[in-house]
Structures are given as structure tokens and as C-alpha cells.
Amino acid sequence: MTAAPRHCTIVPPFVLDRLAEQGHEAARRSLALDTLHRESRLATVLPGAAPAHELSRTIGDARHSRRLPGRTVRTEGGPVSADTTVNRAYDGLGATFALFEEVYGRHSIDGAWLPLDATVHYGRDYDNAFWDGSRMVFGDGDGVIFVDFTSCVDVIGHELAHGVTQYTAGLDYQGQSGALNESLSDVFGSLVKQYALGQHAEQADWLIGAGLLAPGVHGVALRSMKDPGTAYDDERLGKDPQPAHMDDYVDTVQDNGGVHINSGIPNHAFYLVATALRGPAWECAGQIWYDTVTAGGLAHGADFATFARATVTAARRRFDATAADTVTAAWSEVGISTA
């Protein structure tokens, strides 16, 4: 059973909203397009032949139109493109596949060898990237606020991880369960990057979208798992609104109840677990989170405390009481009791 596909964008609506209010034309058009996508349920589920038991990627080029999937420009094992955007998308899909396959033994994001497809050069100056339930779609950015959305492998991992959540825990994209959905994408997005770079928890930057902000924007990324709320502070973008503790939880009706905002709290809990356990974050911390999402039994509307308790159980089941205590302590540090 799978939850309904969601249209999940990497740049939250409140960021584009603010830019649009200041008269930023590309942001206004990107926002209008995102609203259209959400309402039209763009996702198409193709019946297709039984998938091969291997990685299968196809990259399309929309050539600045809004037609999907666009002209096919690179296929699995085919020649490298002259277009670096095409190759970055191809490599990012491969890096995400590698983390799930090699570390967790998951065959593609659905666990059943779903082909990984993407479309690049979507729209004109489109300031976003999204997973539409069946493919990844990347804008080129406007070059003023955002650059090419294929630039960050963690952004690609983030979007595809929405697919993993869609096929497993199916967390509702609203309120705390929505913030957990967002957080899981940041967690696995960051792990895709760390695994590709061979970094240990203490070496990683724990940023989401480092390198996505255009030169001149005051910020380092879209989000920071290490220090939520510090990723950017810019005249045009505003200030990163993420809390790191339940005391600063943001009650809002915007952004599906602040799914991109309050995700800072579980994000930081994961960072604390990973750095306390040391070594490669995908091995212990990542395994605990992966087990939690795939074990079944987590309600679609699970809140932070329910999810936190499930991670403690997963840590004890997979590892030992010491690992479970580490997880408990991390949640406690962000203001969530697992008692």
C-alpha cells in the first residue's frame, strides 16, 4: 500500500512568497507554477513493463518548457552528455540509489526496482526542484537567488527520499507528521551526500542545499541540521526560520503547518544521535531511522513523540541499550520525551 503521491518542492513556499512580495519576478512565476502543480496532481504513474533488477535511469530535457518528461538525453549506461546539468542529475540519482541499495539493501525507492527518472531545464528561471510522485524535476534557478537545482546531491537525495517515505511510512504532509516527512528527506538527503563523499558524522557539513544560493545571497544553504535557524539571513530571503528545540516550535497554518520549519527539531535530533555515535552516520543513526520508517506500525499521522519512541525501539532492536540511550538523550536535548 502506498500513500498518495505528493508534490514536494525543495524550496518551501514561504521563501518564494517573500521574494515574490518584493517583486522578484522569477520567484513569483515559480510559486504560481508550484501551486498549479499541487492542484493538478501532475504525477503520472505509468503502467510499464516489469522493471529490470538493476538501476535504471532516464534523464529528459524539457528545454525550458513545462512539458514532461521532455526529450530523452541520457539513459542508463549510455554516453555522458555534453550538458553538465544532465550528468549531475544522472549522478545524483545514482548516488541516491547507491545509499539505499548498498547500505540498506533497498532496491530503488519503492523497494521494487522503480526506474529513476528525472527532467532537467524545466521551465524558465524556475526556482525549485520537486518529486512529483514518479519523477524528479529540476529548474535552472534564476541565477540571482538560486542556481541550477542539480548542483546539490543532497537536494536530489531529499526529493527521492520523499518517494521512500511515500512507499513506506506514508507520513501525512501536515503538521508534525509532515515535519517528520520533511526531516526524513533531509536526513537521507544528507546521508546520500555523506555516503558519496565517504564522510564521517563529525566531518559532514550537515547542510541541505549548500551551493544552491547564488553568489551575493547571505547564507550557506537552505537548512542546517547542525544549527537549525542559521542557514541564511538575507535581505531578500529573510532569516532561516527553523527551530532546534520544542520550546521554539512554530504554530502556523502556512507551509502545511510549518513542515519545512519545525523539521528543524527532528533534524537536529538526528544530527545529535549521529555525532554522538560517531563514524559514518549512515551505519548506525541512519540504520535506526531507516528501520523506524520501514518497520511498519508507524501511524500516517505520527507526531514527534511517537516517532521518537519508535526510534528508541528501533535502536534497541537493531543495536543495544546503549544506542537506545543515546537516541533517548538526543530527543530529550531537543525537548521531546520518549518516556
Under rule CB under 5 A, residue 190 binds Zn ion: no
CB of 8 to Zn ion, least distance (A): 4
CB of 263 to Zn ion, least distance (A): 8
Binding mask 99-138 for Zn ion (x = CB under 5 A): ----------------------------------------
Kindly state the number of chain residues that form the binding site for Zn ion, as judged by CB under 5 A: 2
Under rule CB under 5 A, residue 185 binds Zn ion: yes
Q: Which stretch binds Zn ion (CB under 5 A): 110-118, 177-185, 241-249, 261-269?
A: 177-185
User: Please, what is the end-to-end C-alpha distance for the chain in angstroms?
Assistant: 31
Using the minimum distance from each CB to Zn ion, give the nearer residue, 131 or 271: 131
Using the minimum distance from each CB to Zn ion, give the nearer residue, 113 or 232: 232
The beta-strand segments (E) located in the chain are 8-9, 57-61, 71-75, 116-120, 129-131, 136-138, 207-208, 223-224, 233-234, 238-239
Q: Give residues 25-54 in contact with Zn ion (rule: CB under 5 A).
A: none
Using the minimum distance from each CB to Zn ion, give the nearer residue, 37 or 74: 37
Q: Which stretch binds Zn ion (CB under 5 A): 91-99, 181-189, 215-223, 299-307?
A: 181-189
Q: Which stretch binds Zn ion (CB under 5 A): 7-15, 112-120, 197-205, 278-286?
A: 7-15
CB of 186 to Zn ion, least distance (A): 8
CB of 48 to Zn ion, least distance (A): 26
Q: Which stretch binds Zn ion (CB under 5 A): 169-177, 184-192, 235-243, 269-277?
A: 184-192
Binding mask 65-84 for Zn ion (x = CB under 5 A): --------------------
Q: Which stretch binds Zn ion (CB under 5 A): 67-75, 122-130, 182-190, 245-253?
A: 182-190
CB of 77 to Zn ion, least distance (A): 30
CA–CA distance, 165 with 182 (Å, rounded to integer): 10
Long-range contacts of 295-299 (CB under 8 A, 24+ apart): 298/169, 298/171, 299/177
Q: Give residues 247-276 in contact with Zn ion (rule: CB under 5 A).
A: none
The DSSP letter of residue 51 is P
Burial of 215 (0-12, 13-18, 19+ CB in 10 A): exposed
Select from 181, 192, 150, 148 the least CA-distant residue to 267: 181
Using the minimum distance from each CB to Zn ion, give the nearer residue, 8 or 336: 8
The β-bridge partners of 118 are 59, 136
Select from 30, 7, 35, 6 the least CA-distant residue to 20: 30
CB of 41 to Zn ion, least distance (A): 17
Tell me which of 5, 6, 7, 8 binds Zn ion, using CB under 5 A: 8
**For residues 215 and 175, is the Cβ–Cβ distance under 8 A?**
no
**For residues 217 and 211, is the Cβ–Cβ distance under 8 A?**
no
Interior/surface letters 218-254, b for 16+ CB within 10 angstroms, e for the rest:
ebbbbbbbbbbbbbbeeebbeebbbbbbeebbbeeee
CB of 157 to Zn ion, least distance (A): 11
**For residues 131 and 159, is the Cβ–Cβ distance under 8 A?**
yes
Active site amino acids:
159, 260
DSSP letters, 312-328, are HHHHHHHS-HHHHHHHH
Number of residue whose CB is nearest Zn ion: 8
Inter-CA distances, 203 with 99, 194, 314, Å: 18, 9, 25
CA–CA distance, 12 with 21 (Å, rounded to integer): 15
Using the minimum distance from each CB to Zn ion, give the nearer residue, 13 or 115: 13
Using the minimum distance from each CB to Zn ion, give the nearer residue, 208 or 277: 208
Using the minimum distance from each CB to Zn ion, give the nearer residue, 243 or 280: 243
What is the binding site for Zn ion (CB under 5 A)?
Answer: 8, 185
